[in-house]
Structure 1
């Protein structure tokens, strides 16, 4: 028996969530789930609240099947997950900041998203008034030989999003790095409450601009699962086509940017040219460079009229990209900076269930397209590149290999793209109900869905609850960066300060996707 099966057997009730169940549990079963995740029996996939309860998503090893565990919080508290499983600490702190629910015995009582500038506490909970004097953030201390601190950000030299990094160093060697994020908090979950399905889809598409396709796909799949909407087959394949184009553009950008942080600007320029070709092909075929708002609940907002620009793009990349790979591999100064720099330990990657190129460069083969999997990838032939070195070089090579995989997937999709409509319009106030339900039926108000899709950074999770008026009752979106940012602190330890840009860029976590 797996942990997932055991927990379902101990459920107080099973809620109508699709395609995987959500179970209500008591505090004892909640603690059993925490211990099971901490001991490696399953992976933590998400932790959030809707105000009345806390919800924990776990993924079963091997199959990737999800289970959401819910614990009611009538007294405003819940047993801390982070006290046993560190990856849950920041999500717990976010729950406390947003909803006011207190994780009992939590190891880190500091505020996370709340910087003291909102004019209130717990904006999704009791909305307690608070002055707007910014809170002083107590960074952790490092003790030992003579050391100094280097504060970086939140305003940076480049045009990037804000985040603060506090280095403690002994000479040039980093002893500790601590991040302070939350500067890009936009109140996405609050904006989702009461939003129409169309508006919610647009909000999801803007969580993190470079992952607009991934978030749109995850939201659409979760909403469709909640409402029982079947998507036209052609739309399913078009969605995958857009997802691979997004992956292609971002991996090309990352490859060049990492090399640029090793003072090899030629690679940034050449990869920038190739990335621009991808974005222009997307604009030509789907009407938007980032393909924003092109995936919607029910299918796709646009069809592919002419595949010729994409076929030309594939030919261009297959011709130009190998030379850049050879250039990277043969440039000793680049290898000197990337090989053995910023190593992410394999066990740490497994414990944090980190996905995407970061996890796959450290031996973790998880890819949501494979497990739990979703259409049309079950009909496509592709491999998931994996390396074990865990350094900057390995993270570069994973991206290089995934660029080749995406080119092959795009070719397969174009060759096999089925005919037919691309959108199935539906009324969210009607679909998802079983025969005999009326407007006041509680089952109609608990239409819930969850989805896990593979973005270029890793797995994106979206959970949604749709009310009987067809509006969003609650929605939670989780970017892969939530579990990746803390590991950046780990990999820089023992490296020199000058190698932080390389480590940071090789992770390329999203500020916006993390802060919501």
Structure 2
């Protein structure tokens, strides 16, 4: 079955349940299909999607003066469908999608905290993002709320969050964080355990709520691109590309081919740097310091080269609306191919050891197993999904330029454990090196950037990019003056963090660090 037939089947099922369902092609939210539905049919639209095995990919609100337009994204076979309804602030209630899509849980609660939209039949509707920073009757994303907040005073301690407790003989609780020993962002982990066996884990995130969505309002496109690059610093290329792609779709603008090739080159460099660093860090979490030091050395060399070529170790602010800010020197392609060849040779013996080292196998094989059904139910993408048998990659399955002209090898394994996630990462490094060689070989000439044309007032677009963690979705809507009226960036970490809760059950407490690192959700990418 292909994308067209699944969309037809979805619309047919909706009509059979009495829902008026016709995709609004004339107002397509590029590159997705747009489906306006009545608020009363919001839950049915999710139920039918779940029955047809469509993946749930996010929900966001678009605040207006008197109401909020709510959009949710469903995906099937690389085809994207955006459900859309309008909710008045006088009756801000919709059916929850969480009963059919567990991954919707926290994003719905995020909307409740920031926009005041409540979701009926939500299994757990406690606040998620608020953390006492504003009152329960205030909603920061509504137009009247000031960007600096209402009262510049210290927020009270968030001590009464209702964690679920497990009761029974010998059960005890381990609170970890939000302040950690390492140089990482804050997140709280509440374990329920018997002996060393973990019975359940509950996370509390959102401590670094940055106000990204509010800060975006009123910005010029160039300013939004800079902001998007700081949603999650280790994914700066992917998030900036997604935001720029959304703006370019809204403006109906075609980016110069050379710029698209360079964006892909940057994205693959970002993927390689993060995967190599994480392979080493996973090994370090079980005491195998040799691999950690070797991977750290190679990552450092790689990032220094990125700084030399593009002006920043993490490649920040290189992707801009309409193209890229910096071209490659004309004579560098050959030396870059030599870099790729050298890295391929350097990682080969390291990856071989990691793949076949009995002490590592003892700690990683079978540890932190996430089965295919759970990964799918939670909406996981990227290496977590691929390690659990879910074969999806935007670059291949919903290809955007220049990947639509490239062969993208997608590693997929079935066992769903830490070993599988490590092996997927190592295979992706090698696949990215091959892709970068192909990008350099086919690099077209021409300009690398141009200004966006004037945008139709109210124009909106979606950006969809395969970041190194998985699928990134960005929504952008312009106001009547060409400034940003709404920006919502959805990092894959929204779905990876719940996966960590699921896969840690029945593992032992000492295995939490390696399970956590094998997933490596972004605090910042989640904590908008």
Q: TM-score, normalised by structure 1?
A: 0.93
Q: How does 1:76-95 map to 2 (within 5 A)?
A: 76-95=92-111
CA contact 1:119–1:129 (8 Å) conserved in 2: no
Residues 28-68 of structure 1: per-residue CA shift (max 9 Å, x gap): 432221102332431111111113121101112x2x11111
Partner of 1:307: 333
Going from structure 1 to structure 2, the CA distance change for 1:148 and 1:5 (only over 3 Å counts) comes to same
3-state SS of paired residue (2:398): helix
User: Where does the alignment leave 5 or more consecutive residues of structure 2 unmatched?
Assistant: none
For residue 308 of structure 1, report the CA deviation from its aligned partner.
4.1
Contact 1:117 1:134 in 2 (8 A): no
SS in 2 for 1:373: coil
Contact 2:23 2:34 in 1 (8 A): no
Which is worse superposed, 101-110 or 266-275?
Answer: 101-110
Is 2:80 the partner of 1:66?
Answer: yes
Does residue 380 in structure 1 map to residue 380 in structure 2? no
Residue 315 (structure 2) aligns with: 291
Contact residue 459 and residue 477 of structure 2 kept, 8 A? yes
The match for 1:2 is: 6
C-alpha offsets along residues 234-264 of structure 1, whole Å, 9 cap, x if unaligned?
Answer: 0010000000000000000010000000111
Q: Are residues 1:271 and 2:295 paired?
A: yes
Q: Structure 1 residue 172 and structure 2 residue 172: aligned?
A: no
Q: Report whether the alignment pairs 1:158 with 2:182.
A: yes
The aligned counterpart of 1:394 is 420
1:19 CA displacement: 2.2
Where structure 1 has 5 or more consecutive residues not aligned to the other structure, the ranges are 433-443
Deviation of 1:298 after TM superposition, in Å, equals 0.4
Q: Secondary structure at 2:512's aligned position in 1?
A: helix
Name the structure 2 match of 1:142.
Answer: 166
How many residue pairs align between the two structures?
Answer: 500
2:500: which partner in 1?
488
Summarize deviations over 1:267-318 as a string: whole Å, max 9, x none: 1110011111211121122121111111111011110112244223212212
How much is the aligned-residue C-alpha RMSD, in angstroms? Answer: 1.8
Matched, 1:122 2:134: no
Cα offset for 1:25? Answer: 1.0
2-structure distance, mates of 1:399, 1:493: 23
> Contact 2:71 / 2:85 at 8 angstroms: preserved in 1?
yes
* Of 383-392 and 44-53, the range deviating more from structure 2: 44-53
Write the mapping of 1:331-342 to structure 2, written as runs, cut at 5 A: 331-342=357-368
Q: What is the match of residue 329 of structure 1? A: 355
Equivalent runs, 1:177-196 vs 2, <5 Å:
177-196=201-220
For residue 134 of structure 1, report the CA deviation from its aligned partner.
3.1
Task: Quote the Cα distance in structure 2 between the aligned partners of 1:46 and 1:38.
Answer: 14
Question: What's the CA shift for 1:5?
Answer: 4.1
Could you tell me the TM-score, scaled by structure 2's length? Answer: 0.91
Asked whether the equivalents of residues 37 and 85 of structure 1 are also in contact (C-alpha less than 8 Å), the reply is: no
1:437 corresponds in structure 2 to: none
**Would you identify which runs of 4 or more consecutive aligned residues in structure 1 move more than 6 Å?**
128-131
Q: C-alpha deviations, 1:342-378, integer Å up to 9, x for none?
A: 0001111122231100000000011011121111112
Residues 18, 65 of structure 1: CA spacing in aligned structure 2 closer, same or farther, 3 A cutoff? same
Equivalent in the alignment of 1:406? 432
114-123 or 238-247: bigger deviation: 114-123
Which whole-Å CA distance do the structure 2 matches of 1:133 and 1:107 have between them?
27
Q: Residues 284 and 309 of structure 1 are in contact (CA less than 8 Å); yes or no, is this contact kept in structure 2?
A: no
The alpha carbon displacement at 1:474 in A equals: 0.8
The separation in 1 between residues aligned to 2:82 and 2:356, in whole angstroms, is: 48
Deviation at 1:221, TM superposition (A): 0.7
8 Å Cα contact 1:241-1:410 kept in structure 2: yes
Which range is displaced more, 281-290 or 504-513? Answer: 281-290
119-128 or 418-427, larger mean C-alpha shift: 119-128
2:252 corresponds to which residue? 228
